[in-house]
């Protein structure tokens, strides 16, 4: 959970932290630079002011927010890019159209309303692919839940007389999720979650389309296996392996460009002959034209070959 930064008091420390009713909360801040650039900083503070000070002295996990508006790509020290934001996507919705859509189907299919307005974040993905030419960067998605999108009728005193809310929290938090890969021998805690996010051991799942649990994207070479976010040497036997829970359309990207596009597969192996940054997007065309061209899963990259970031 990231809260807007305030100079007078520590907003991150005032959010929920630690485990509550089986849910782990990790706290942080959304900060704005003088040029308007915004980043999410996750410190993982959970043990009083001294622990907070130690975290601040270390480099926090820093994620670019609103990458389509971000400017300081060369100078910023970043760990990731928020390539999709539910709130940003929802701002494109026409309130009048959405009002009648909600009346028609919200009671039975609240999450599927999102399918009408969800779009592949082309510009943000492009910015992320460009960032990967300079350094490693984890792709993340955020719900940016505000519970304030909708249509309402108010009297002269500002009292709400009637209205429909499009983004209640119980719907927003189910739309898109980060699926984090953590070693079974590690505990689920703030440290393990932030380490996994920083390392790129995670993928984005648009869960309203279906549960992507079981998706895997790995690289194999000389008997060695690597997962998302990791690097592996290039050898004649190097290959990428993808598994999905159901039959899907797979798009393989190398350095931001599609190099393979396969339909109707749940297991696929791609031989690799060139070093580069490889990632996968998964689609579900069987769900119909409304979402056929909108990704269900966006993986984080696997880095194949030894190369200097500054020379690419």
* 9 within a domain of the structure (yes/no): no
Q: What pLDDT does residue 243 have?
A: 98
SS3 per residue for the chain: CEEECCCCCCCHHHCCCEEECCEEECCEEEEECCCCCEEEEECCCCCHHHHHHHHHHCCCEEEEECHHHCCCCCCCCCCEEEEEEHHHHHCCCCHHHHHHHHHHHCCCCCCCHHHHHCCCCHHHHHHHHHHCCCCCCEEEEECCCCCCCEEEEECCCCCEEEEEECCCHHHHCCCCEEEECCCCCCCCCHHHHHHHHHHCCEEEECHHHCCCCCCEEEEEECCEEEECCCEECCCCCCEEEEEEEEEEEEEEEECCEEEEEEEEEEEEEEECCCCEEEEEEEECHHHCCCCCCCCCEEECCEEECCCCHHHC
* 32 within a domain of the structure (yes/no): no
In terms of Cα–Cα distance, which of 135, 59, 90 is closest to 303? 135
Number of domains in the chain: 1
Q: Which residues contact 83 (CB under 8 A, 6 or more apart)?
A: 67, 121, 124, 125, 127, 128, 139, 140, 141, 204, 298
Name the pLDDT band for 168 (thresholds 50, 70, 90).
confident
Q: Kindly report which listed range (12-21, 129-138, 296-305) carries the lowest average pLDDT score.
A: 12-21
* 27 within a domain of the structure (yes/no): no
Q: Kindly report which listed range (151-165, 192-206, 238-252) carries the lowest average pLDDT score.
A: 151-165
* 38 within a domain of the structure (yes/no): no
Among residues of the chain, what percentage have pLDDT more than 70? 78
Q: What pLDDT does residue 47 have?
A: 47
Give the best-scoring range by mean pLDDT among 24-33, 111-120, 145-154, 166-175: 24-33
Q: Tell me the residue range of the domain where 176 lies.
A: 59-311
Is residue 165 scored above 80 in pLDDT?
no
Express each pLDDT in 49-103 by its tens digit: 444 444 445 578 999 999 999 999 987 789 999 999 887 766 666 655 665 566 5
Any idea what the CATH number is for the domain that residue 82 is in?
2.60.40.10
Is residue 311 scored above 50 in pLDDT?
no
Is residue 153 scored above 60 in pLDDT?
no
Express each pLDDT in 200-237 by its tens digit: 999 999 999 999 999 999 999 999 999 999 999 999 99
* 23 within a domain of the structure (yes/no): no
* 272 within a domain of the structure (yes/no): yes
* 44 within a domain of the structure (yes/no): no
Residue-averaged pLDDT of the chain: 84
* 277 within a domain of the structure (yes/no): yes
Alpha-carbon 293 to chain mean position:
18
């Amino acid at each position: 959970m990231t809260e807007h930064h305030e100079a007078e008091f520590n907003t991150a420390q005032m959010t929920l932290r630690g485990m509550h009713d089986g849910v782990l909360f990790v706290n942080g801040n959304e900060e704005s630079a003088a040029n308007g650039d915004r980043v999410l900083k996750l410190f993982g503070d959970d043990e009083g002011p001294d622990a907070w000070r130690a975290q601040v002295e270390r480099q926090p996990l820093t994620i670019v927010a609103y990458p389509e508006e971000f400017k300081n790509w060369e100078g910023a020290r970043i760990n990731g890019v928020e390539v999709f934001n539910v709130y940003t996507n929802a701002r494109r919705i026409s309130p009048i159209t959405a009002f009648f859509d909600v009346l028609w189907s919200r009671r039975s299919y609240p999450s599927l309303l999102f399918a009408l307005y969800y779009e592949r974040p082309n510009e943000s993905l492009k910015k992320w692919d460009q960032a990967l030419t300079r350094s490693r960067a984890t792709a993340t998605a955020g719900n940016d839940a505000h519970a304030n999108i909708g249509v309402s009728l108010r009297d002269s005193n500002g009292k709400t007389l009637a209205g429909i809310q499009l983004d209640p929290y119980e719907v927003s938090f189910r739309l898109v999720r980060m699926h984090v890969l953590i070693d079974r021998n590690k505990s689920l805690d703030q440290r393990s979650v932030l380490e996994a996010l920083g390392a790129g051991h995670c993928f984005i799942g648009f869960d309203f389309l279906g549960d992507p649990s079981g998706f895997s994207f790995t690289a194999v070479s000389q008997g060695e296996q690597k997962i998302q976010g990791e690097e592996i040497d290039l050898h004649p036997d190097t290959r990428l392996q993808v598994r999905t829970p159901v039959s899907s359309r797979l798009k393989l990207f190398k350095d931001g460009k599609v190099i393979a596009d396969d339909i109707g597969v749940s297991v696929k192996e791609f031989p690799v002959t060139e070093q580069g940054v490889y990632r996968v997007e998964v689609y579900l065309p069987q769900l119909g034209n409304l979402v056929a061209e909108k990704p269900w899963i966006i993986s984080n990259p696997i880095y194949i070959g030894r190369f200097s970031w500054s020379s690419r």
